[in-house]
Structure 1
Amino acid sequence: MIRTRASLRRPLAVLGAAFLGLTAAVAVAAPASAHHTTITATADCDGLTGERVITWTVENSERDKAATLKTVTADPATPVNLAADASKPLEGAVVPKGGSVQAVQRVPGDTATAKLTVYALWKKNGQDRTNDGSINLGGDKPCTPAPKCVDASKAKYSHTFDGPKGTATVKLDGDLPLCGESKQWFTLVSYFAPRPQFATPQYVYGTPDSDWIGGTQTEIDLKVDIPDCHTQVDLIWGGTDEIIDPLVEGGKRYGDKKLGSKGAPGNRSTGPQGWYNGGDKSCTTPAATFASNCDGTVTVSLSNDGKISKYPVEFEVRGENGWSKKVTVEPGKADNGTVVPAENAGKVEVLVDGKVIEDGSYSWQRPEDCPLPTITTKADCENFTLTATNPEGGLPVKVVFTYGKETETRTVQPGDSETVTFKAGKEETALVVLPELELEMEAVYAPEGDCGGGGGGEEPGLPVTGAAAGGIAAGAVALLALGAVLFLMARRRRVRFTA
């Protein structure tokens, strides 16, 4: 609103008002025939200081007389100085004939109205007059200083994220730093995971990388190692105290703390979703070793103690004829107690998740140190007797005895013996075959003494030694107390000894 006031000796006349610039006021001091000053104003905002800057214009109504501004009163009462020379006040300034002067006043940014009153004297004819002008600032937004920093609670960020590589960056948006000593932490963390999709439990892998933005540090780079197996990588809002280890079923989750989330605080950073699930290998190290036993069984040892074994492993051990057994081995542990029965040990497989593991197939093989059966003989003038003895702890052994045209077959159980007796004939040798061990032996019929006087001899046990299934490459000679016996073994070669 613009007001015009004359001295008590002069009539008061209101001429009009207008807004200039942001807000401007025009005041006319008196009728056109009277000496007066007209005061108008415009206002602006100083973004650095937050002050309103009012520019007052005082115009002289007289074209042939200059006016001196003897008194200047401002409301608010802040300095009003000449625009042309800010070191000089408006008070005392001379308004030229038909001209004007400008002055600048700074007022608080929330000022609603401002008023300027001047008392002017025209020395040429002694005329004087007091006029005022005002400006309404209430319709404008308050003037506030430009911020020099950004409050940490309102700061915005942008980020990059590469889960498979384990890298991320976070940057403070805008040109202003965080205010004061404020710091905002961000953390990158990787996990062992049981699946390439989200699944629990998960365990932190390696050392998480955590850093902060604040002061002159407005951008950070983060990097973590990734396990050589299924993994999850998360870029989270906060420091290492925010890390959840382990992530378990029904436990805490990061939720919107992950950068790039839809909710706060993760949505205060723009960029890709800050989480990744992947990896093409299991975070376990299942392994199996096999040992053949003399009794035909296979002992399977299972282990889950590799470098990346973080989860229990359920093994399945399969044998022939549908035999199967499942064994769960905890991380860092082993199980050595799985025995595949002899009748199922022809082909053994170890599976995890339905697939045969590396080096997980095996078939029973006769150990080289298994005790072999022994053959003993007894001969006289009427009979030729042969006995096969099978040591304990082995497999049943099939023995074929042949003397002349007669053949007898026996199966000798472990820890037992089988004996056959042939009528003595003209043949000088008997053939003893152990087909499963690929052994053949010749027993020489040599009764002691004069058959006319009877009597005979008995050979003590002759151990069958060596590795049969892999072939026999050496021989042995034994001189027995009751008779000389030659004991020579070779693959599919005969061993000849004397009875």
Structure 2
Amino acid sequence: MIRPKLSLRRPLAILGAALIGLTGVVAVATPASAHHTTISATADCDRLTGERVITWKVENSETNKDATLQRVTTDPGTPVTALVEGAKADVPLQGFVINQGTFVEAVQRVPGDTTTANLEVYAEWLKDGKSTAEHTAKGSIGLAADASCAPAPKCVEVDKAKYSHTFDGPKGTATVKLDGDLPLCGEGKQWFTLVSYFAPRPQFATPQYVYGTPDSNWIGGTQTEIDLKVEIPDCHTQVDLIWGGKDEVIDELVDGGKRYDNKKLGSAGAPGNRSEGPQGWYNGGNKNCTTPASTFASNCDGSVAVSLSNDGKISKYAVEFEVKAENGFTKKVSVAAGKADNSIIVPAADAGKIEVLVDGKVVENGTYSWQRPEDCPLPAVTTKADCKNFTLTATNPEGGLPVKATFTYSGKTETRTVAAGASETVTFKAGKDKTALVALPDLDLELEAIYTPEGNCGGGGAGGEEPGLPVTGAAAGGIAAGAVALLIAGAVLFVIARRRRVTFTA
């Protein structure tokens, strides 16, 4: 028979910090005699094991006799161990002696889903080794059904894990972190991916094409945080932080096609809403993902040929060009990626200042005005003279523009407009002046003709001399440079002085 010391209130250290108190309701049996025991109980929950821990308190009501617990019955039938300070091993409650006027505390562990526990003890009071009284006491504790006791988790299941994230779309960076202190269970892994796109607009628009290589990584085991980074195109872009690996990446976002929807982290719905942080998507960029370009070529007839190209290093889309001229001409042309269009001719009548626009903005080097090409054929002037008249004729070659011609002789001036492929003639009465001037202001040319009549006009003329081409002043070099064609009729001498200025506009 065991007679321990009376100090039985040692701390319940064996339960650890995981115990959460749950006070029970105890029913106590009515004593059958003057000798009796009473039973009360409290209950805690051990979150490490998921068991309920009941502490039974059995009290000896007698103040002059010791009680021996001869029989102990429990429901559930798990062991009940007396709490004895200094004991090196568990002390069974059965056979335990409760000193007079004291009590014993005992612990019983029951399954976590237990709703009621019962303890029955049969006690004897002995004197001189003989029984003087006996008593059976019963105690019961009810455990609230809604306060279930389950073991604390050691990990979090992949499909229940929560995360937090950061996201910087313009820089193409993001981080994802597992929330809480528990790792994912087992070999579970959760993948996340950061991807960037070429985009046609700085707002969401299609089609979009993956740029570079998406960055993908997973969280699992001891890896509870990841960093992701992608390159951003130097043009309009979209960047997405998505739930899943590279197999979730949509290579082309097209009209009516697949979308990430709630797979984007920070979305309102699952699974994206399982990560807390900013919206994991970005649209921006400050220029087109194309390289539209234009070149111009002036024609002799005043028209301008416009060439459009879309073949830059980052061209991904067809480009919608608009060619406009200040005199009313306008035309829109779509040029596919990597292609060119050389079919646009702005007529002479509509030319003026020409602009090439994309999205309402003039492209680089996209402004031009017609300039006369160097190789266009020049008008020619022929003369015919006798003693009474001095006739000058200006001829404009076909394929050119109409030109204005001003004829001046002996103080008189006549002006004509010479159409392409046509001629204009002016006749002056012969005078004392030996030269006439033909000015072509549209071409910045001046032609000087010498009056040399046919035959002998009273001996004062220059008839009979061989024709020549004397050139005055600084115009001599211009003749050679411009390759001015002179047509000579009969013995008439024609002299040309040329001055020309050409300005090119980029």
Q: TM-score, normalization: structure 1?
A: 0.78
Aligned position for 2:18: none
Q: Is the 8 A contact 1:188 1:233 kept in 2?
A: yes
Aligned twin of 2:265: 259
Q: CA deviation at 1:338?
A: 1.3
The Cα of 1:403 is off from its aligned counterpart by: 4.9
Q: Output the CA distance in 1 between the equivalents of 2:348 and 2:464.
A: 42
Q: CA deviation at 1:125?
A: 4.4
Gaps of at least 5 residues in structure 2 are 1-20, 502-506
Q: Which residue of 2 aligns with 1:90?
A: 93
**Distance of 1:42 and 1:440 partners within structure 2:** 123
Q: Distance in 2 between matches of 1:356 and 1:472?
A: 43
Contact 2:446-2:496 at 8 Å conserved across structures? no
> What is the CA–CA distance in structure 1 between the aligned matches of 2:90 and 2:121, rounded to whole Å?
19
Counterpart amino acid of residue 106 in structure 2: A
Describe the SS at the equivalent of 1:321: coil
In 2, Cα distance between equivalents of 1:347 and 1:211: 56
Partner of 2:504: none
Show the counterpart of 1:166.
172
For 1:387-423, what per-residue CA distance to the aligned partner results, in whole angstroms no more than 9, with x for missing partners?
A: 5454443323344444546766555444555666777
Corresponding letter in the other structure for 2:96: A
Equivalent residue number for residue 338 of structure 1: 344
Q: Measured at CA, do residues 294 and 458 of structure 1 come closer, stay the same or move farther in structure 2, by a change above 3 Å?
A: farther
- Establish whether residue 194 from structure 1 lines up as the match of residue 200 from structure 2: yes
Q: 1:21 to 1:96 in 2, by over 3 A?
A: farther
CA displacement at 1:82 relative to structure 2: 2.6
Deviation at 1:149, TM superposition (A): 1.3
- The alpha carbon displacement at 1:142 in A equals 2.4
Aligned to 2:104: 101
Q: How many residues align?
A: 465
Q: Are 1:139 and 2:144 counterparts?
A: yes
Q: What residue identity is the alignment partner of 2:499?
A: R
Between 250-259 and 473-482, the greater mean CA deviation after superposition: 473-482
**3-state SS, counterpart of residue 159 of structure 2:** coil
The question of whether the paired residues in 2 share the 8 Å contact of 1:117 and 1:130 is answered with no
Deviation of the 1:473 alpha carbon: 5.8
1:111 and 2:114 correspond: yes
Match of 1:243 in 2: 249
Superimposed CA distance per residue, residues 283-311 of structure 1 (whole angstroms, 9 cap, x where no aligned partner):
44333222222221111222333344444
Q: Measure, in 1, the Cα distance between the counterparts of 2:384 and 2:494.
A: 16
Q: How does 1:171-320 map to 2 (within 5 A)?
A: 171-320=177-326
Structure 1 partner of 2:440: 434
8 Å Cα contact 1:376/1:459 also seen in 2: no
Looking at structure 2, the residues matched to 276 and 472 of structure 1 have their Cα atoms a distance apart, in angstroms, of 68
CA contact (8 A) 2:447 2:498 kept: no
Counterpart amino acid of 2:208? Answer: Q
Once the 2 structures are TM-superposed, how far is the Cα of residue 472 of structure 1 from its aligned partner? 9.1
CA 1:285–1:198 in structure 2 vs 1: closer, same or farther (change >3 Å)?
same
Distance 1:98 1:384, change over 3 A: same
Q: Match for 2:336: what amino acid?
A: E
Mapped contact 2:68–2:95 kept (Cα < 8 A):
yes
The alpha-carbon distance between structure 1 residues 459 and 265, as it changes in their structure 2 partners (threshold 3 A), is farther
- Work out whether residues 74 and 117 of structure 1, in 8 Å CA contact, stay in contact via their aligned partners in 2: yes
Distance 2:445 2:304 in 1: 24
- Quick check: 1:115–1:132 contact (8 Å CA) kept in 2? no
| Identical residues among aligned pairs (%) | 70
Provide the rounded CA distance (Å) in 1 between the counterparts of 2:156 and 2:228. Answer: 23
> In the superposition, relative to structure 1, how do residues 458 and 77 fare at CA in structure 2: closer, same or farther (>3 Å)?
farther
Q: Deviations over 1:448-483 (max 9, x none)?
A: 99889x9979979x9x9xxxxxx9964549999999
Check the 8 A contact 1:210/1:222 in 2, yes or no: yes
Q: Distance in 1 between matches of 2:144 and 2:190?
A: 39
Indicate the residue corresponding to 2:499 in structure 1: 491
Q: CA deviation at 1:488?
A: 6.1
Q: Structure 1 residues 21 and 187, CA, compared in 2 at 3 Å: closer, same or farther? A: closer
User: Letter of the aligned partner of 1:97 in structure 2?
Assistant: Q
The 5 A counterparts of 1:39-54 are 39-54=39-54
SS at match of 1:267: helix
- Cα deviations by residue, 1:180-233 (Å, 9 ceiling, x for unpaired): 222222333333333443333333334333332222222333333444444433
Alpha-carbon RMSD: 4.1
Flag the 1:27–1:320 CA change in 2: closer, same or farther, 3 A: closer
State the distance in 1 between where 2:397 and 2:487 align: 21
Does the CA-based 8 Å contact 1:76-1:107 persist in structure 2? yes
Q: CA distance change for structure 1 residues 492 and 212 in 2, over 3 Å: closer, same or farther? A: closer
Q: Partners of 1:472 and 1:260 in 2: how far apart?
A: 80
1:256 and 1:91 map into 2 onto residues whose CA distance is 63
Deviations 1:59-113 (A, max 9, x none): 3343333334344443333332232234333333322223222222222111233
Give the Cα separation in 1 of the matches to 2:236 and 2:500. 55
Other-structure match for 2:158:
152
Looking at structure 2, the residues matched to 268 and 492 of structure 1 have their Cα atoms a distance apart, in angstroms, of 77
Give the whole-Å Cα distance in 1 for the aligned partners of 2:187 and 2:57. 46
AA aligned to 2:245 is G
Residue 45 of structure 1, CA deviation: 0.8
1:158, 1:216 → 2: CA distance? 17
Do residues 126 (structure 1) and 134 (structure 2) align?
A: no
CA distance in 1, matches of 2:446, 2:93: 136
Question: 8 Å contact 1:70–1:118 — kept in the other structure?
Answer: yes
Question: CA offset at residue 48 of structure 1?
Answer: 0.4
**Separation in 2, partners of 1:249, 1:459:** 79
Residue 121 of structure 1, CA deviation: 4.4
